[in-house]
């Protein structure tokens, strides 16, 4: 087997992976591997922005308090304090690196309001914030010595010796390669593609989670999947997102009878937490009413403030200045993931995780809007500080042969069955009966799955379903109609031990 030695391997090239690479390059050579083109990631699709307490009337304490209340009692407060406390510095760094955030006419950073924030605190670049940040980080990476980015390189398994992570086995240029390193960072994003409706990029199949679990890493909070209320109800996965910032600017949800229904569901109406808005939409849909986002009151401002959304809608023959936009909820963010401490360390020495793949405890049971790009920036930097102190553990000899990754066939009926099962039985409204049914279907599907990516997706789907079954209450993004209220006895995180063989 081919061996490539380096100091650090980072799996994933979104905001968390690139940030970790840029800081880690000060301490050694970095190889980033990513299974598709580097820019095909959730970061580049993120529209709304980055939350940070940089406004006049804001403070990290207020940001902390909003994050904790959105998290519905399941956050790790120490981790949230770090997140909100380090946010202003992370923004300062982005500005120094060249990110073009929008400014007001009076020269202050322009701030938008999103759901469950008590004031406007979301920095943005039009409605293309993630793409702007990704472009800047990527440019900086190209100017930084000691970082190589290998696209179309698929991580298959972690290599271990005596409980230490010693590298990654990956398919690189058609050859199985052992990237041997003193530190591995999993920053492989989320798993939205396991659901029939998602806003997530096509590579978001939960590989990082599956790899870590097989290697024995502890996972947590898997039952918490965040559904975004307003994806465009046209086309196929990934569904195009209609940013929450559109509601922040005054757009309102209406049903096919023209009623503004959100005030009947929550005092914050259209800016209620995402789980509340998503369930309200599902309720309307289940009673036979279609749901639309009416942004016509914004007038011409819509096209100026949301040029990307405007262009895309026009491409679908929808004129948002004059007609309401058809919307539906869709799986948007994996809150749970690989359990880490506040430095991104897992229970395996040498294995770190950050970004959506990791569960640092900052999101609790429900992520506050625009805290995810922030998480990638803050914890991407923190993992690099741990990498700096790691020493090489001697790798074991690797097997001469290792099965390669067979490409996922988008037309595979098992993929459709997986996505339909997860959407209809492990989606926005769950119950024990549907979850049991989903468990059985997923087990049957897994029996025949040789394809590596599909196998990972099924493994992650089974872990999520079992975590949802094992939480007999409703909290944040996890709603069970058979246990519709929160139970104080369950106000804790829910750990899943890693498995040691595939």
274 is a catalytic site residue? yes
For residues 42 and 166, which CB has a smaller minimum distance to ligand SIN in the complex? 42
Helix locations, 112-153, DSSP H = 129-142
Interface contacts to ligand SIN, rule CB under 6 A: 47-48, 243-245, 332, 369-370, 372
Q: Which of 453, 33, 417, 427 is nearest to 227 (CA)?
A: 427
CA 159, 161, 167, 173 dihedral sign is: negative
Chain position whose Cβ is nearest to ligand SIN: 48
Catalytic residue among 76, 274, 430, 480: 274
CB of 154 to ligand SIN, least distance (A): 27
CB of 49 to ligand SIN, least distance (A): 7
CB of 372 to ligand SIN, least distance (A): 5
Q: Where does 135-247 show beta strands of DSSP type E? A: 147-150, 154-161, 164-172, 175-180, 183-186, 219-220, 225-232
Phi and psi at residue 390, to the nearest 5°: -80, 150
**Residue indicated by tokens 């898997």:** 222
Strands 325-334 and 2-5: unpaired
- Residue 299, classed as helix, strand or coil, is coil
DSSP 297: G
Q: Which of 465, 473, 354 is nearest to 11 (CA)?
A: 354
For residues 2 and 304, which CB has a smaller minimum distance to ligand SIN in the complex? 304
Q: Where does 26-133 show beta strands of DSSP type E? A: 30-33, 50-51, 111-112, 122-123
Measuring CA to CA, how many Å separate 341 from each of 15, 356, 376, 383? 19, 14, 14, 10
For residues 247 and 478, which CB has a smaller minimum distance to ligand SIN in the complex? 247
CB of 245 to ligand SIN, least distance (A): 6
Phi and psi at residue 161, to the nearest 5°: -145, 120
For residues 180 and 243, which CB has a smaller minimum distance to ligand SIN in the complex? 243
For residues 244 and 294, which CB has a smaller minimum distance to ligand SIN in the complex? 244
Count CA atoms closer than 13 A to 297's CA, side-chain side.
11
For residues 266 and 414, which CB has a smaller minimum distance to ligand SIN in the complex? 266
CB of 153 to ligand SIN, least distance (A): 27
**Residue indicated by tokens 């010796």:** 161
Kindly state the tokens that stand for 343: 């430095």
Number of neighbours of residue 275 by Cβ within 10 angstroms = 25
For residues 7 and 244, which CB has a smaller minimum distance to ligand SIN in the complex? 244
Taking the C-alpha atoms of residue 431 and residue 453, their distance in angstroms, rounded to an integer, is 28
CB of 244 to ligand SIN, least distance (A): 3
Taking the C-alpha atoms of residue 180 and residue 6, their distance in angstroms, rounded to an integer, is 6
CB of 243 to ligand SIN, least distance (A): 3
Taking the C-alpha atoms of residue 251 and residue 293, their distance in angstroms, rounded to an integer, is 7
Catalytic positions, please?
274
């Amino acid at each position: 087997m081919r061996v490539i030695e380096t100091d650090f391997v980072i799996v994933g090239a979104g905001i968390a992976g690139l940030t970790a690479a840029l800081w880690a390059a000060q301490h050694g050579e970095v190889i980033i591997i990513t299974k598709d083109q580097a820019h095909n990631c959730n970061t580049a699709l993120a529209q709304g922005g980055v939350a940070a307490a940089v406004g006049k009337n804001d403070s990290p304490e207020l940001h902390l308090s909003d994050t904790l209340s959105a998290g519905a009692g399941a956050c790790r407060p120490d981790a949230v304090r770090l997140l909100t406390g380090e946010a202003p510095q992370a923004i300062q760094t982005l500005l120094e690196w060249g990110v073009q955030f929008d400014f007001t006419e009076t020269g202050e950073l322009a701030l938008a309001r999103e759901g469950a924030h008590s004031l406007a605190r979301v920095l943005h670049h039009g409605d293309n914030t993630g793409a702007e940040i990704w472009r800047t980080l990527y440019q900086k990476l190209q100017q930084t010595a000691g970082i190589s980015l290998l696209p179309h390189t698929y991580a298959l398994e972690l290599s271990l010796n005596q409980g230490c992570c010693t590298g990654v086995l990956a398919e690189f240029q058609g050859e199985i390669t052992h990237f041997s390193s003193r530190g591995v960072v999993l920053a492989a994003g989320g798993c939205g593609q396991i659901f029939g409706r998602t806003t997530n990029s096509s590579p978001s199949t939960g590989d990082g989670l599956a790899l870590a679990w097989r290697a024995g890493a502890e996972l947590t909070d898997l039952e918490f999947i965040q559904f975004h209320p307003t994806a465009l109800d046209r086309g196929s996965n990934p569904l195009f997102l209609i940013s929450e910032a559109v509601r922040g600017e005054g757009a309102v949800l209406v049903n096919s009878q023209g009623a503004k229904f959100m005030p009947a569901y929550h005092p914050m109406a259209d800016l209620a937490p995402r789980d509340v808005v998503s369930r309200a939409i599902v309720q309307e849909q289940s009673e036979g009413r279609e749901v639309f986002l009416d942004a016509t009151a914004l007038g011409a401002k819509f096209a100026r403030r949301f040029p990307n959304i405007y262009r895309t809608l026009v491409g679908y023959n929808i004129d948002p200045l004059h007609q309401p936009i058809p919307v539906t909820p869709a799986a948007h963010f994996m809150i749970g993931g690989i359990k880490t401490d506040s430095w991104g360390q897992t229970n395996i020495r040498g294995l770190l995780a950050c970004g959506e793949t990791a569960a640092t405890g900052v999101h609790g049971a429900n992520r506050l809007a625009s805290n995810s790009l922030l998480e990638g920036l803050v914890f991407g930097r923190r993992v690099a500080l741990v990498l700096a102190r790691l020493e090489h553990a001697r790798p074991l000899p690797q097997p001469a042969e290792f099965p390669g990754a067979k490409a996922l066939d988008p037309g595979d009926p098992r993929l459709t069955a997986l996505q339909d099962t997860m959407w209809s039985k492990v989606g926005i409204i769950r119950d024990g009966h549907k979850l049991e049914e989903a468990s059985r279907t997923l087990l049957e599907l897994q029996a025949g799955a040789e394809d590596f990516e599909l196998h990972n997706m099924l493994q992650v789907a089974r872990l999520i379903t079992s975590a949802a079954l094992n939480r007999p209450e409703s909290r944040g993004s996890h709603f069970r109609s058979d246990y519709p209220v929160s139970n104080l006895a369950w106000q804790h995180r829910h750990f899943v031990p890693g498995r040691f063989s595939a």
